[in-house]
Each structure stands twice: as structure tokens, then as C-alpha cells.
Amino acid sequence: MNNNKTKIILGIETSCDDTAIAVVNSERKILSNIVINQNSEHMQHGGIVPEIAARAHLKLLEYALERALKKANKSLNEIDLICATGGPGLIGGLIVGTTFAKTLSLTLDKPYISVNHLEGHALTTRLINNISYPYLLLLVSGGHTQLLGVIAYGEYKRISTTLDDAAGETFDKGAKMLGLKHPGGPEIEKYSLKGDENSYIFPKPMYKSKNPNFSFSGLKTAFSRTISRINNIEKEKSNLAASLQFTISECILDRTKSALNIFKKMISNDKNIQLVVAGGVAANTKIRQELLEFSKQENIEFFAPPINLCTDNGAMIAWAGYEKFINLGSSKLDFKPRPRWPLDPTAHLLNPTMKIVGKKGIKS
């Protein structure tokens, strides 16, 4: 490979219910970004069914690749690097995407790079805003809610995580209780526009606590109890959605405030601080606005990816794969997909209450 020329990078994402392929170049240009969501296949089941997701990835990947190459005006032979999400995520989809990427790598004789999905979200801001390390990252998605110090490439220091549910999961479950479609976040946001966020008061777990961790299960239970007491949910949908969104947003903001001080100590600096939000929940306008306001007050810089790059996509996998390649080289073809793959593998050691060990190891 010519090391000086602009690299053309393929990014393949299959860790959940979006089949996504993008072509990105090493000059930070997104040449194509195809995302095929499987919502219609999962909707009738009220949530994501892993087996259905894996089969859908298998059916859709070739089509997604064709579209991504066509849109980018590139042929397969022009691709320099093949990057695919290797975890964390649903194992069926990870196996499908990883096998697809390795096959392409062998056929085309081009390097294969296994990418951590969370690193994809974490580095999107470097693809879009070209910001430098270090930064404080608020990673809020369907499966994860964490605050991390991103110190350098591959150096993540987890400040906090959720003790139970993720923020996106809370949006999704709340939406399901209201009879709204999956994914719930955008639906709650849509209904919130017509509702009064002060109409219901819900608990804010961990609010004002010095411990920067998150917790959402108490909120979920309170929401469910409130719903069970309402006779005409249809009439109250917008008010309930707005109050839920308000409470989640308040919790996120409060935890971010507490993590900011820890981050400043971590990097021994309180100047030129950068706050980055990433993950599907970062698409929420209210949460983005609150974080922006907070950043102005604190005199720190705030970065949020464009809405379409908050939720899962192939461009973030291509970029994170490229950064991995220039720092660590290519991955071996015997890489096994990892349903769990924490960004900071030592985080649980710092806080024994967070040591959640399942059959397959420590939860991410």
C-alpha cells in the first residue's frame, strides 16, 4: 500500500439492528454512508430480536455494499482498508459483519481491522470536528451510558457508567409503555414537542450525588406506576413523553456536571476543556441544547455530531478503524467477535460495586 496517498476506508456496522456501510477517506471526507434500519422487521415484536437482526444483516449486507460503493463512486479494488464492528453488541450480527469483512479482506488482499463500536461513537468527533485529544466524552446510546476521559488514542478512563439501565433503553422502554414505536427515543422526542415537561414529576436517581454514576431503573418504575394510574393515556401521551424526556435530560446534565470536575483533575488542567456527546441519545435536541447551555456557562467547548452520525452508522466505524490502523496496525484474521468489549478494561477495578461479571466476563 502506498503510505502517502489518501486512504479509502470501508466501514461495516452490524452490532445491533442497523445494517450500515460507509466509504470514508483519510482526509475526513464521508463519500457515502448507507444505513438500512430493520425497524419494520422488529416492530411487531416490540423490541430488537437478535436472531431476526442477524438474518437481516446477512440478507442486506451485499446490497448495502453495492449502494455504498456506487454512491462513493468507487470500485471494490479502490478500497484500502476494511473495517468492521467486532463488538460489543449482539453476537449474531457481529459474526455476520466480521465474516463479511474478513472475506473481503482475503479476496482483495487488503488489511482487516476489527473495531470497537463504542470507539466508533467516541471518535466520530475527530472525523467531523477534527478535535485533538484529550476530551470529556458523554457516551449515551441504547446499550451504554458512560462518562469517559478520552486521553489519547486507545486511552480511555471511565469516570462513570450506569448502575442499571442505559439512557436510550429508558427512552425505548418508556415509549413502549406509551404504545409508541421502536426505537423509542425519536418517538418520545416527537411527542414531547406537544407536551408540558412539568406536568409530571418523576424521581431523578443519583441527582446531585457526588458519585458520578447514572441510574435509570427507579425512573422507569415510577413512569410505569404513573401510567398504570392514568385512565386516558392517549390524552396524556405528550405530557408523559415530555416529562420523561425532561427527567432523563436533567439526570444526564447533572451527572455531566459532576464528571467535569473529575475530568479536570484527571488531566490536571481546567483550561481549554472540550466536552463531546456521542451515541444515539445525542440525537435528542433538548439534551444537545442543555449541554450547549451548560458548556457556555462553564466556558468549555462543546461538540455534538450531526444527528445522522449520532445513531449507528458505518462512517464512525471506518474512521475509528483508520485511527486504529495508524496506531496499532491491522487486526488478525482469527479475531473473534466480542459481545462485551469495554473501552476502559480496568474501570471496574476502581469501583468494586461496578464489578458486574457475567459468563462472558466483565460487562462493558
Binding site for ligand KG4 (CB under 6 A): 16, 141-143, 168, 171-172, 183-186, 189, 279-281, 283-284, 311-312
Residue 312 as a binder of Zn ion (CB under 5 A): the answer is yes
Smallest separation (angstroms) from Zn ion to the CB of 34? 16
Q: Which amino acid, 278? A: A
Which is closer to Zn ion, CB of 61 or CB of 240?
Answer: 61
How much of the chain is in helix, strand and coil states, percent to nearest 5? Answer: 45, 20, 35
- Least separation, in Å, of the C-beta of 210 and Zn ion? 29
Which grid coordinates belong to 345? 478494561
Choose between 273 and 337: whose C-beta lies nearer to ligand KG4: 337
The entry of Zn ion, ligand KG4, none near residue 183 (CB within 5 to 8 angstroms by kind) is ligand KG4
Beta-bridged to residue 303, according to DSSP, are 276
Name which of 279 and 321 has its Cβ closer to ligand KG4.
279
For ligand KG4, the closer of residues 93 and 168 by Cβ is 168
The answer to whether residue 146 forms part of the interface with Zn ion (CB under 5 A) is no
In the DSSP assignment, the letter for residue 132 is P
- For residue 264, CA distances in Å to 67, 136, 159, 258 come to 44, 9, 11, 11
- From the list 3-11, 193-201, 265-273, 307-315, the region that binds Zn ion by CB under 5 A is 307-315
- From 125-133, 136-144, 176-184, 199-207, span contacting Zn ion (CB under 5 A): 136-144
Q: How many residues contact Zn ion, by CB under 5 A?
A: 2
Cis ω before 305 (30° cut-off from 0): no
Please choose, from the candidates 217, 219, 204, the residue with its C-alpha nearest in 3D space to the C-alpha of residue 252: 204
Rounded CA-CA distance 343/158 in Å is: 8
Confirm if 94 and 85 have CB atoms less than 8 A apart. Answer: yes
Which has the closest alpha carbon to 136: 272, 287, 42? Answer: 272
Q: Give ∠ CA 188-192-197 in degrees, rounded to 5.
A: 120
Shortest separation between residue 332's beta carbon and ligand KG4, angstroms: 25
Q: Which does 254 bind (CB under 5 to 8 A by kind): Zn ion, ligand KG4, none?
A: none
| Residue 168 near which of Zn ion, ligand KG4, none (CB within 5-8 Å, type-dependent) | ligand KG4
Least distance (Å) from ligand KG4 to the CB of residue 14? 12
Residues that bind Zn ion (CB under 5 A): 141, 312
